[in-house]
Amino acid sequence: MEFGYRGQYASQHASQQMNMDFYSAKGGEHELAQAYIPFQRYVTSFPPKEALRMGTMFPELVRPYHKSKV
Amino acid sequence: MWIYEKKLQYPVRIKKPDARMAKCVITQYGGPDGELAASLRYLAQRYHMPIPEAKAILNDIGTEELAHFEMVGSMVYQLIKDATIEEIKKEGFAPYFADHDRAVFPSTGTGVPFTAAYIQSKGDPVADLHDDLAAEQKARATYERLIDLADDPDVIEPLKFLRQREIVHFQRFGEALRKVQEYIDSKKYY
Amino acid sequence: MMDLRCKMLDDIRAIEFMAVELNLFLDINPHDHRALNEYNDYTRQLHELKYQFEQQFGPLTNFGYSYSLHHWRWIDRPWPWESC
């Protein structure tokens, strides 16, 4: 049985994988020797001028830097 | 192909010349972790990606990095265009000035010219995307060092913008990697 | 006049930035209809803002992407590294 890939590259566990993105419930969800960045969900956004000022429209991607004094 | 829009993605309005800062910022123009390296890396890798999402994200982030390359070039230009010869000499910028006057040239702050040796296009999509994740982290770290070195808010503001963009790019490349991994796994079932 | 030009360009920057951010998100999530609708909304606003800007200050793009009325204003100052 061939698994097509039009937007659904994952195996039949795709939707489960999406929901268990942030941790590995059974040991087998995430494989060893592989990197996993969680998928971002679009929740809210800054308005345009603030987005430009912040460097992103997505509040959850903001990582402020505090200038080092030493 | 590329179309040029006659504006900067984020404004660069530096009023005070600063040859010392020019010598630091220039590494993000022509250095190993700079915007030109990032752009050429992604635009080279995009051809060989196996899925449309990966081709698109490399194409589009590669294009956005060209806009950032232009921003950094503008920063260097504005930092040195009104610097006096005395300031240039005092801040160790004289060797660059000898070769380039107050022009913008892709090199590091220590005068190493840009080279394609800074980039890789491995052909293995998993390797390439990890390379891209690393590139974004290195760029993010370099912007943090530049922010540490800068005093002028006109310089710090665009640097902060550029730094935050690297974080967003990292997230997108991470997602592209997930999709590529899933695609590769899906091809194992038959 | 320069202040008006800068202000209009800042408005364009902000809307275009939303289009870029949504574009990158859509590259990974091509079936996200909320993002798609917002992208198209911002694109519409952007076209309007650019039209207004170009009427007053000349073309923002070349190679056939913008008109240049009266004379070839494309080469006119300021270029982006010279001013806002």
Check residue A9 and give its pLDDT.
Answer: 52
- In this prediction, the residues of chain B whose per-residue pLDDT falls under 50 are none
Taking an 8 Å cut-off on Cβ atoms, the answer to whether A49 and C14 are in contact is yes
pLDDT at residue C1, as a whole number: 75
> CB-based contact (8 Å) between C14 and chain A?
yes
* pLDDT per position as a tens digit, A52-61: 999 999 999 9
**% pLDDT > 70, chain A:** 59
Q: How does residue C83 score in pLDDT terms, banded at 50, 70 and 90?
A: confident
The answer to whether position B62 is within a domain reads: yes
- The per-residue DSSP string of B83-117 comes to --HHHHHHTT-HHHHHHHTT----B-TT-PBP-GG
Give pLDDT, residue A5.
39
Q: What is the pLDDT of residue A15?
A: 42
Tally the domains of chain C.
1
Determine the pLDDT at residue B16. 98
Q: DSSP letters along A10-42, please?
A: S-TTHHHHHHTTTS-SSTTSS-TT---PPPPP-
Give the per-residue pLDDT at A21.
46
Per-residue pLDDT, C70:
87
Q: Which subunits sit against A, judged by 3+ Cβ pairs under 8 A?
A: B, C
Domain containing residue B104: CATH number: 1.20.1260.10
Report the alpha-carbon distance of residue B17 to residue B152 in Å, rounded. 10
Instruction: Give the tens place of pLDDT for each residue, C31-63.
Output: 999 999 999 999 999 999 999 999 999 999 999
State which residues form the domain around C58: 2-75
DSSP-assigned beta bridge partners for residue B107? B113
pLDDT category of residue A1 using cuts at 50, 70 and 90: very low
- When pLDDT is averaged across residues A21-26 and rounded to a whole number, the result is 40
Q: Domain of B38?
A: 19-116+123-186
Residues 12-51 of A with CB under 8 A from C: 39-40, 42, 45, 48-49, 51
- What's the pLDDT score for residue B190? 56
Annotate chain B with DSSP letters as a single string.
----BSS-SS-----S--HHHHHHHTHHHHSTTSHHHHHHHHHHHGGG-SSHHHHHHHHHHHHHHHHHHHHHHHHHHHHHTT--HHHHHHTT-HHHHHHHTT----B-TT-PBP-GGG----S-HHHHHHHHHHHHHHHHHHHHHHHHH---HHHHHHHHHHHHHHHHHHHHHHHHHHHHHHHHHHTT--
A54 and C CB contact within 8 Å: no
pLDDT score, position A16: 43
What domain count does chain B have? 1
Residue pairs spanning A and B at CB distance below 8 A:
77
* Residues of B with Cβ-Cβ distance to A36 under 8 angstroms: 178
The token pair that represents B130 in the structure block: 């990890």
pLDDT at A46 exceeding the cut of 90: yes
- In chain B, whose CA is at the least distance from the CA of C84? B11
pLDDT score of A19: 44
Share of chain C above pLDDT 90, in %: 94
Convert the pLDDT of each residue in C9-35 to its tens digit. Answer: 999 999 999 999 999 999 999 999 999
Residue in chain A closest to B146 (alpha carbons) equals: A67
Per-residue pLDDT band at A13 (split at 50, 70, 90)? very low
